[in-house]
Structure 1
């Protein structure tokens, strides 16, 4: 005879199965809730981390200093040698121009490799400056090679003019000045990150009055001098901040007023055309003109600390 479950047994069986299903469902629901909370926590932590990273300027002091030693200084060492060679030509002190330019070509090549040794991609302006300095050195390498060939047929007084009018040299100069602009623009961004009164960007009016110039922070003044040199294609042995100090000294001494000069460009033209700017002018007048200014700790601002 077939056994049948009683109503009570059937009730308990169904109840047990129902409770088991609920328990399993609750278990998996708990896992889902826990997972969602964990993911949400990590999402918040990631957002906080991204926010903190975004609040940190890509132009920290250490970035500017690292760039100075690994990119700017190798370029500057080559540039000084180039200027020395040009001075020798203008004074007629070299009879070995061919070998001199071959040495400069080799030096430009080696310095370009040095300037490539660091990755500055986190700082866009420094990355732009690096690319331009390296490109400038490679073009100087070509210009020096062409000059070495020309030295075999041209007199020294003709050679200097020929070199400085040659297309490759002019391109090398342009890239150098463009790199300089980017480096000084990065300094402006650094200043803006540590002083809210300094704007990260400044667009000068077409005609900048000296009264406006005097109110500007030193880092913006320096960037404007880099711009002025670039617009004139002036490759100089002095720095943009040397030109800044000469302009400030010229204005504060009353000379600009006596000569009825009212715009920045007019003063810069006068100083450049009369060769009134020298390397080291900034440091010589720093104690007098810039006792409490905001500048990054770079060797060309603080030579006594080297």
Structure 2
């Protein structure tokens, strides 16, 4: 029998061997490509990790988390404190010691809630949290002390003793400082987006209205927090409410009419005459501040947002 291969059979065999060699080569080439891609992805992942924000840098989610877990619980307590004091001042409260006992209990609850929150270390938010906790602790101390006042002491006398109380003064001071730190955190966040943002560390006593008008809103709000701190009283409105009233006072021509060319005296006038109210900012937000850079916090959002 003739076992030699025909020409066509040989071509088929050679073709099969060629395809086999190509298949094996393609396999090993694919393995090498996959290895290289995996290495590239790992290096990219490492590079991405290395480029994470440095410790102490604030992200928007940090500001939002702080708002819901620290700042607003504190503000809710502060609002009730202000309401009790105002009612006592207007003689709407006849049993102030009982109200102070309730506030002492509420302060403990609020303290426990806020102290359980973990904030990014070495940031102004961490600093703000500690300041607000000290404020609550001091409010609790003074409320407990005055709640045990003698029965023959009048509401007026209790209020007078409160204003002189060192723990009360510390509570107010730490409250205002805590707010300042939070608004400073907003400015720090804004600088991660706009590095060339105006640098104004603290509210200068000599700041002219012409300079104020040129500042971005988020910087003005921090300076308004400084102005509220300088007033030395806890209030039921926010720094942005004061900002909007200062802006309105200047833009309406009132500042020129009264020859006020410094922001400080304008702020004092508005605060002392109780011309600032909670909600002033939102009423003018759409018309005056629509294009301003702000973090997505509830008190900066319109009803349509």
TM-score if structure 1 supplies the norm length?
Answer: 0.80
Indicate if the aligned counterparts of 2:202 and 2:226 stay in contact, CA closer than 8 A: no
Between 114-123 and 250-259, the greater mean CA deviation after superposition: 114-123
Deviation per CA, 1:133-192: give whole Å up to 9, x if none. Answer: 111111111111112122633211222222122111110000001100100000001111
Task: Work out the CA distance in 2 between the residues paired with 1:190 and 1:152.
Answer: 51
Instruction: Give the equivalent residue in structure 2 for 1:202.
Output: 201
CA positional deviation for 1:246: 0.4
Indicate if the aligned counterparts of 1:202 and 1:220 stay in contact, CA closer than 8 A: no
CA positional deviation for 1:45: 7.7
Q: CA RMSD in A?
A: 2.4
Task: Work out the CA distance in 2 between the residues paired with 1:157 and 1:220.
Answer: 40
Instruction: Give the equivalent residue in structure 2 for 1:35.
Output: none
CA positional deviation for 1:47: 7.9
Instruction: Give the equivalent residue in structure 2 for 1:239.
Output: 238
Instruction: Give the equivalent residue in structure 2 for 1:80.
Output: 79
Instruction: Give the equivalent residue in structure 2 for 1:186.
Output: 185
Task: Work out the CA distance in 2 between the residues paired with 1:94 and 1:273.
Answer: 24
- Residue 108 (structure 2) pairs with residue 109 (structure 1): yes
Task: Work out the CA distance in 1 between the residues paired with 2:61 and 2:256.
Answer: 41
Deviation per CA, 1:221-252: give whole Å up to 9, x if none. Answer: 01111111112212111111110000000000
**Pairwise mapping of residues 1-306 of structure 1 onto structure 2 (< 5 A)?**
48=47, 51-54=50-53, 58-122=57-121, 124-150=123-149, 152-199=151-198, 202-302=201-301, 304=303
Task: Work out the CA distance in 1 between the residues paired with 2:112 and 2:200.
Answer: 31
Structure-2 change in CA distance of 1:116 and 1:209 (3 Å): same
Unmatched segments (≥5 aa) in structure 2: 1-39
Task: Work out the CA distance in 1 between the residues paired with 2:174 and 2:191.
Answer: 26
Unmatched segments (≥5 aa) in structure 1: 1-40
Structure-2 change in CA distance of 1:128 and 1:305 (3 Å): farther
CA positional deviation for 1:289: 1.7
Structure-2 change in CA distance of 1:93 and 1:142 (3 Å): same
Indicate if the aligned counterparts of 2:198 and 2:216 stay in contact, CA closer than 8 A: no
Structure-2 change in CA distance of 1:246 and 1:252 (3 Å): same
Structure-2 change in CA distance of 1:295 and 1:155 (3 Å): same
Task: Work out the CA distance in 2 between the residues paired with 1:178 and 1:276.
Answer: 23
Task: Work out the CA distance in 2 between the residues paired with 1:55 and 1:288.
Answer: 37
Q: Which SS does the other structure have where 1:193 is aligned?
A: helix
Following superposition, which runs of at least 4 residues in structure 1 exceed 4 angstroms of deviation? Answer: 44-47
Indicate if the aligned counterparts of 2:98 and 2:147 stay in contact, CA closer than 8 A: yes
Instruction: Give the equivalent residue in structure 2 for 1:25.
Output: none
CA positional deviation for 1:291: 1.8
Structure-2 change in CA distance of 1:208 and 1:72 (3 Å): same
Task: Work out the CA distance in 1 between the residues paired with 2:45 and 2:288.
Answer: 47
